[in-house]
Amino acid sequence: MRQRKIRNLDEKLNNLDMFQIHEPERYKGNWNKPCYVEIGCGKGQFISRLARLHKEWNFVAFEGHRSVALHAIEKVKGAECKNVKFVLKYVNSLEDVFQDGEVSGVFLNFSDPWPKERHAKRRLTCGSRLREYGRVLSPGGFIEFKTDNDGLFRYTLEEVADQNIFQVAAVTKNLHMDYPEEEIVTTEYEDKFSGKGKNINYLKLVKRG
Protein backbone atom coordinates (compact mmCIF):
# COMPACT_ATOMS: atom_id res chain seq x y z
CA MET A 1 0.00 0.00 0.00
CA ARG A 2 1.53 3.34 -1.03
CA GLN A 3 1.61 5.75 1.83
CA ARG A 4 2.96 9.23 2.46
CA LYS A 5 5.63 9.38 5.16
CA ILE A 6 4.02 10.27 8.47
CA ARG A 7 5.88 12.73 10.64
CA ASN A 8 6.51 11.58 14.24
CA LEU A 9 5.10 8.15 13.47
CA ASP A 10 6.70 6.47 16.49
CA GLU A 11 5.44 9.13 18.85
CA LYS A 12 1.92 8.92 17.41
CA LEU A 13 1.93 5.14 17.74
CA ASN A 14 3.28 5.38 21.29
CA ASN A 15 0.35 7.60 22.20
CA LEU A 16 -1.99 4.85 20.98
CA ASP A 17 -0.15 2.08 22.76
CA MET A 18 -3.26 0.86 24.60
CA PHE A 19 -4.61 -0.45 21.27
CA GLN A 20 -1.50 -2.48 20.50
CA ILE A 21 -0.07 -5.82 21.47
CA HIS A 22 3.69 -6.05 21.09
CA GLU A 23 4.33 -9.68 21.99
CA PRO A 24 1.22 -11.52 20.82
CA GLU A 25 2.88 -14.93 21.38
CA ARG A 26 2.52 -14.35 25.14
CA TYR A 27 -1.28 -14.41 24.82
CA LYS A 28 -1.37 -17.80 23.11
CA GLY A 29 -4.16 -19.82 24.71
CA ASN A 30 -5.43 -16.81 26.68
CA TRP A 31 -7.07 -14.54 24.13
CA ASN A 32 -10.48 -13.15 25.04
CA LYS A 33 -13.16 -15.21 23.31
CA PRO A 34 -14.73 -15.24 20.87
CA CYS A 35 -11.65 -14.14 18.98
CA TYR A 36 -11.66 -12.96 15.35
CA VAL A 37 -8.57 -12.18 13.32
CA GLU A 38 -7.92 -9.95 10.33
CA ILE A 39 -4.59 -10.35 8.53
CA GLY A 40 -3.57 -7.16 6.71
CA CYS A 41 -6.20 -4.76 8.01
CA GLY A 42 -4.81 -1.83 6.01
CA LYS A 43 -6.30 1.50 7.10
CA GLY A 44 -8.90 -0.24 9.25
CA GLN A 45 -12.27 0.67 7.75
CA PHE A 46 -13.46 -2.95 7.79
CA ILE A 47 -12.32 -3.84 11.31
CA SER A 48 -13.59 -0.60 12.86
CA ARG A 49 -17.04 -1.06 11.30
CA LEU A 50 -17.27 -4.77 12.10
CA ALA A 51 -16.16 -4.14 15.69
CA ARG A 52 -19.00 -1.66 16.13
CA LEU A 53 -21.48 -4.15 14.70
CA HIS A 54 -20.21 -6.95 16.95
CA LYS A 55 -19.32 -5.46 20.31
CA GLU A 56 -19.47 -8.94 21.84
CA TRP A 57 -16.63 -10.17 19.61
CA ASN A 58 -12.91 -9.60 20.23
CA PHE A 59 -10.73 -8.71 17.26
CA VAL A 60 -7.02 -9.00 16.65
CA ALA A 61 -5.87 -7.08 13.57
CA PHE A 62 -2.43 -7.69 12.07
CA GLU A 63 -0.87 -5.00 9.91
CA GLY A 64 2.83 -5.02 9.09
CA HIS A 65 2.97 -1.54 7.57
CA ARG A 66 3.21 0.75 10.60
CA SER A 67 2.10 4.01 8.98
CA VAL A 68 -0.92 2.27 7.45
CA ALA A 69 -1.69 0.72 10.84
CA LEU A 70 -1.69 4.18 12.44
CA HIS A 71 -4.75 5.10 10.35
CA ALA A 72 -6.45 1.87 11.41
CA ILE A 73 -5.81 2.47 15.09
CA GLU A 74 -7.07 6.04 14.83
CA LYS A 75 -10.27 4.79 13.17
CA VAL A 76 -10.89 2.25 15.90
CA LYS A 77 -10.25 4.91 18.53
CA GLY A 78 -12.64 7.28 16.75
CA ALA A 79 -15.29 4.55 16.60
CA GLU A 80 -14.86 4.08 20.36
CA CYS A 81 -14.34 0.35 19.98
CA LYS A 82 -12.77 -1.37 22.95
CA ASN A 83 -12.81 -4.80 21.36
CA VAL A 84 -9.94 -4.44 18.85
CA LYS A 85 -6.21 -4.91 19.43
CA PHE A 86 -3.55 -4.38 16.78
CA VAL A 87 -0.36 -6.26 16.15
CA LEU A 88 1.97 -4.14 14.04
CA LYS A 89 3.88 -6.99 12.45
CA TYR A 90 3.77 -9.13 9.33
CA VAL A 91 2.45 -12.32 10.84
CA ASN A 92 4.20 -15.44 9.58
CA SER A 93 2.28 -18.15 11.32
CA LEU A 94 -0.95 -17.76 13.27
CA GLU A 95 0.14 -20.83 15.20
CA ASP A 96 2.84 -18.78 16.93
CA VAL A 97 0.08 -16.62 18.39
CA PHE A 98 -3.03 -18.79 18.75
CA GLN A 99 -3.61 -22.22 20.18
CA ASP A 100 -5.44 -24.87 18.18
CA GLY A 101 -9.14 -24.08 18.08
CA GLU A 102 -8.72 -20.64 19.68
CA VAL A 103 -9.96 -18.53 16.76
CA SER A 104 -13.58 -18.19 15.63
CA GLY A 105 -12.98 -16.44 12.32
CA VAL A 106 -10.25 -15.20 9.99
CA PHE A 107 -10.76 -12.29 7.61
CA LEU A 108 -8.54 -11.89 4.57
CA ASN A 109 -9.41 -8.76 2.66
CA PHE A 110 -7.65 -7.84 -0.57
CA SER A 111 -4.55 -9.76 0.40
CA ASP A 112 -1.42 -9.07 -1.61
CA PRO A 113 -1.71 -11.26 -4.75
CA TRP A 114 1.99 -12.19 -5.17
CA PRO A 115 1.36 -12.87 -8.89
CA LYS A 116 4.70 -14.54 -9.69
CA GLU A 117 4.54 -18.31 -9.48
CA ARG A 118 7.77 -18.47 -7.49
CA HIS A 119 6.07 -16.34 -4.80
CA ALA A 120 2.96 -18.53 -4.55
CA LYS A 121 3.88 -19.68 -1.04
CA ARG A 122 3.64 -16.06 0.16
CA ARG A 123 -0.05 -15.84 -0.75
CA LEU A 124 -2.21 -15.80 2.35
CA THR A 125 -4.50 -18.42 0.78
CA CYS A 126 -1.88 -20.99 -0.25
CA GLY A 127 -2.50 -24.59 0.88
CA SER A 128 -0.09 -24.48 3.85
CA ARG A 129 -1.72 -21.28 5.16
CA LEU A 130 -5.20 -22.79 4.77
CA ARG A 131 -4.12 -25.83 6.78
CA GLU A 132 -2.70 -23.55 9.45
CA TYR A 133 -5.95 -21.54 9.66
CA GLY A 134 -7.74 -24.88 9.90
CA ARG A 135 -5.74 -25.75 13.02
CA VAL A 136 -6.23 -22.47 14.90
CA LEU A 137 -9.93 -22.25 14.01
CA SER A 138 -12.55 -23.85 16.21
CA PRO A 139 -14.96 -26.37 14.63
CA GLY A 140 -17.51 -24.28 12.76
CA GLY A 141 -15.01 -21.40 12.62
CA PHE A 142 -14.76 -19.60 9.30
CA ILE A 143 -12.53 -17.81 6.83
CA GLU A 144 -13.88 -14.91 4.81
CA PHE A 145 -11.84 -13.89 1.80
CA LYS A 146 -12.45 -10.97 -0.56
CA THR A 147 -10.35 -9.90 -3.50
CA ASP A 148 -10.52 -7.88 -6.69
CA ASN A 149 -7.82 -10.15 -8.15
CA ASP A 150 -9.51 -12.82 -10.29
CA GLY A 151 -6.27 -14.81 -10.67
CA LEU A 152 -5.75 -14.99 -6.91
CA PHE A 153 -9.38 -16.01 -6.46
CA ARG A 154 -9.07 -18.86 -9.01
CA TYR A 155 -5.86 -19.99 -7.30
CA THR A 156 -7.55 -19.91 -3.89
CA LEU A 157 -10.49 -22.03 -5.07
CA GLU A 158 -8.01 -24.60 -6.43
CA GLU A 159 -6.12 -24.66 -3.11
CA VAL A 160 -9.42 -25.10 -1.23
CA ALA A 161 -10.43 -27.97 -3.52
CA ASP A 162 -7.14 -29.74 -2.67
CA GLN A 163 -7.97 -30.09 1.01
CA ASN A 164 -10.77 -31.49 3.08
CA ILE A 165 -10.72 -29.13 6.05
CA PHE A 166 -13.24 -26.55 4.93
CA GLN A 167 -16.65 -26.58 3.40
CA VAL A 168 -17.53 -23.77 0.98
CA ALA A 169 -20.38 -21.85 2.62
CA ALA A 170 -20.56 -19.03 0.07
CA VAL A 171 -18.82 -18.18 -3.16
CA THR A 172 -19.40 -15.43 -5.68
CA LYS A 173 -17.40 -13.60 -8.29
CA ASN A 174 -19.58 -10.54 -7.88
CA LEU A 175 -20.27 -9.82 -4.23
CA HIS A 176 -21.84 -6.43 -4.81
CA MET A 177 -24.25 -7.78 -7.39
CA ASP A 178 -25.23 -10.88 -5.40
CA TYR A 179 -25.56 -9.43 -1.89
CA PRO A 180 -27.49 -6.40 -0.62
CA GLU A 181 -25.13 -3.47 -0.03
CA GLU A 182 -26.36 -3.06 3.57
CA GLU A 183 -25.07 -6.57 4.36
CA ILE A 184 -21.52 -5.84 3.15
CA VAL A 185 -18.88 -4.33 5.42
CA THR A 186 -16.45 -2.87 2.93
CA THR A 187 -12.73 -2.15 3.08
CA GLU A 188 -10.86 0.82 1.64
CA TYR A 189 -9.59 -1.27 -1.30
CA GLU A 190 -13.05 -2.65 -1.91
CA ASP A 191 -14.59 0.83 -2.12
CA LYS A 192 -11.86 1.87 -4.52
CA PHE A 193 -12.19 -1.12 -6.87
CA SER A 194 -15.94 -1.59 -6.76
CA GLY A 195 -16.30 2.17 -7.25
CA LYS A 196 -14.48 1.69 -10.57
CA GLY A 197 -16.88 -1.11 -11.53
CA LYS A 198 -14.48 -3.98 -10.76
CA ASN A 199 -16.14 -7.20 -9.64
CA ILE A 200 -15.29 -8.26 -6.09
CA ASN A 201 -14.77 -11.97 -5.47
CA TYR A 202 -15.94 -13.40 -2.16
CA LEU A 203 -15.49 -16.78 -0.52
CA LYS A 204 -16.62 -18.03 2.86
CA LEU A 205 -15.19 -21.28 4.17
CA VAL A 206 -16.40 -23.07 7.28
CA LYS A 207 -14.24 -25.56 9.14
CA ARG A 208 -15.73 -29.02 9.16
CA GLY A 209 -16.72 -30.28 12.61
Ligand X SMILES: C[S@@+](CC[C@H](N)C(=O)[O-])C[C@H]1O[C@@H](n2cnc3c(N)ncnc32)[C@H](O)[C@@H]1O
- The single-letter DSSP state of residue 8 is T
Nearer to ligand X, 55 or 122 (CB): 122
Residues written for the chain: 209
Q: For residues 62 and 106, give the distance between their C-alpha atoms in angstroms, rounded to a whole number.
A: 11
Minimum CB separation of residue 26 from ligand X in Å reads 18
Provide the residue type at 142 as one letter. F
140 dihedral zone (left: phi>0; alpha: psi -120 to 50; beta): left
Minimum CB separation of residue 94 from ligand X in Å reads 10
For residue 35, what are the β-bridge partners? Answer: 58
- Does 86 bind ligand X (CB under 6 A)? Our answer is no
Say which of 17, 112, 148, 150 is annotated catalytic: 112
Q: Which positions from 50 through 69 interact with ligand X, judged by CB under 6 A?
A: 62-65, 68
- Interface mask (CB under 6 A) for ligand X, residues 165-204, using x and -? ----------------------xxxx--------------
Q: Does residue 100 have an active-site annotation?
A: no
Q: For residues 31 and 33, give the distance between their C-alpha atoms in angstroms, rounded to a whole number.
A: 6
- Considering only 79, 91, 165, 184, the residue that binds ligand X (CB under 6 A) is 91
Q: For residues 39 and 203, give the distance between their C-alpha atoms in angstroms, rounded to a whole number.
A: 16
- Does 145 bind ligand X (CB under 6 A)? Our answer is no
- Does 39 bind ligand X (CB under 6 A)? Our answer is yes
Taking a C-beta distance cutoff of 8 angstroms, is the pair 60, 24 a contact?
yes
- The single-letter DSSP state of residue 20 is B
Catalytic residues: 112
Where along the sequence are the contacts to ligand X (CB under 6 A)? Answer: 1, 39-42, 62-65, 68, 90-91, 109-110, 112, 187-190
